[in-house]
Amino acid sequence: MVSLKVIKSIKEITNWGFSQPVILVPTMGALHDGHRKLIREGNAIKGNKGTLIVSIYLNPIQFNDPKDLDKYPRTFDTDYKVCEEEGVDLIFAPSDAEMYLNSSSVKVSENKLARELCGSKRPGHFNGVCTVVTKLFNLIKPKIAIFGKKDYQQLILIKDFIKERNLRINILGEDTIRESNGLALSSRNCLLTSEDKP
Ligand code: PAF
């Protein structure tokens, strides 16, 4: 069995000769069954010729609260196993130094939807998301990228942004998976106490 490839460097990912179509599932790791659903959809679409890539990158610039970033679960070894089980072809897991130059002052921003709903409580969050997603799309050049409908505002924002920038990437949204008590699966659920849960 060929072992699942992990690429950490920008040089390597940009020089890699992917077989087409390339399908990307962008994540911040701590993969759960909701991610498995996105990955399975990607696998079904790619057929036997394409390349299914999962990016695992905990993007610091989308966290407006440093404590939230500190607490965010980091589970790379388990994530690797999930990707292996689900037949992913490649994991892209860059470091912060690879993704952002020290002097980096350029951000991609959206100034309407990003200020509403969840964005109104998390200043800068969606600009951080748009910036990292732009980078991932530029590096990997996927034909299709798959996101969860759980983060519906994010999904709509990315779809609008693709149209606005004339990028030829098909953005798919997958349904939310829930626990039996109705709670949507999320990487942060492990931080909830039993009182926090429905
Ligand atoms: O939904 C997420 O996990 C993140 O916001 C994303 C899209 C991977 C960007 O960091």
Query: Which atom of ligand 1 is nearest to 27's Cα?
Result: 8
Q: How many residues does the chain have?
A: 198
The confidence score (pLDDT) of residue 1 equals 61
Catalytic one of 32, 35, 37, 125: 35
Q: Is 35 a catalytic residue?
A: yes
* pLDDT score of 10: 96
Q: How many CB atoms lie within 10 A of CB 116?
A: 11
The pTM score is 0.97
CA of 1 to the centre of ligand 1 (A): 30
Predicted pLDDT at 3: 82
Q: CA 52, CA 54: separation in Å to the nearest integer?
A: 7
Each residue's pLDDT expressed in tens, for the chain with a length of 198 residues: 678 999 999 999 999 999 999 999 999 999 999 999 999 999 999 988 999 999 999 999 999 999 999 999 999 999 999 999 999 999 999 999 999 987 778 889 898 999 999 999 999 999 999 999 999 999 999 999 999 999 999 999 999 999 999 999 999 999 999 999 999 999 999 999 988 888
CA of 2 to the centre of ligand 1 (A): 28
CA of 27 to the centre of ligand 1 (A): 5
Which residues sit with their C-beta closer than 6 Å to ligand 1?
26-28, 59, 62, 129, 132-133, 151, 154
* Strand locations in the chain (E): 5-7, 22-27, 51-56, 90-92, 144-148, 170-174
The predicted structure's pLDDT at residue 198: 83
**Crossing angle of helices 125-140 and 152-164, rounded to 10°:** 60
Give the pLDDT confidence score for residue 101 in this predicted structure.
Answer: 85
